[in-house]
Structure 1
Amino acid sequence: GGVSLQLTDKTGKVYETLTTAAGVFTFENLPVQQSMTLTITHAGYEDKEVTVDPIPTDETSELTVELTPLPEVEQLPPGQGLSIESQAPDFELPDGNGKAHALADYTADKNVVLIFYRGGW
């Protein structure tokens, strides 16, 4: 599919369109004599914002933008893991909100069952 484009004017009004397969796009009936911000989003690429200089009335402006591919996710082998009833080494990992959690924070005077779900996304 096409790449999603949003053009935002000074007042915050957003104009949206998609590119063709060749990357061509058109916005029509835009405010004149003001710079705008073009936001480009496409799966697998970093979002990009570009400032578009004012375009005079009844003129067309060409814009060339190159998107940066997101780095590929490293695939790791499953590894051996631990045997049942073995003790896990201490570690620290962030949760979904970035807050760090250490195994030692949870194991003081109690048993802990720890399960890692590697995801299915």
Structure 2
Amino acid sequence: MELVMEIEQIRRKNARAKRIKWFKLKEIELCRQFKEKVLVELTHEIEDVDEWWNRTMEIILRVAREILGKSSGKMFENKETWLFNEEVKDATKQKREAKKKWEGTQMEEDWMVYKEANKLAKKTSSC
């Protein structure tokens, strides 16, 4: 008897969640609009605390989406590597090579070499 299984690999392109742009509350006008709209829609007539909490959360999130907007969900990946000098590039390259070697062998010595290369790369790039 022969058993044949096909496994489909589902790839999600850009499966990041869209998030509310809370940082926009730093703008005075948007902050004022947000406060006003939330206060207008809030009611204190609900007696059950859990119900009041859930209703308040729904109102705040809905108003935030309306006024502050949501992100696209994409990650910013424009890494300015041209800013790095040769020392940083070499350290990063050594780290990458050490990680590839460790992933292939899964040996403890290779792991320690990778950790040291990682520390060196972080130290050189932070200066």
TM superposition score normalised by structure 1: 0.21
Indicate the structure with greater strand content.
1
**Structure with higher helix content:** 2
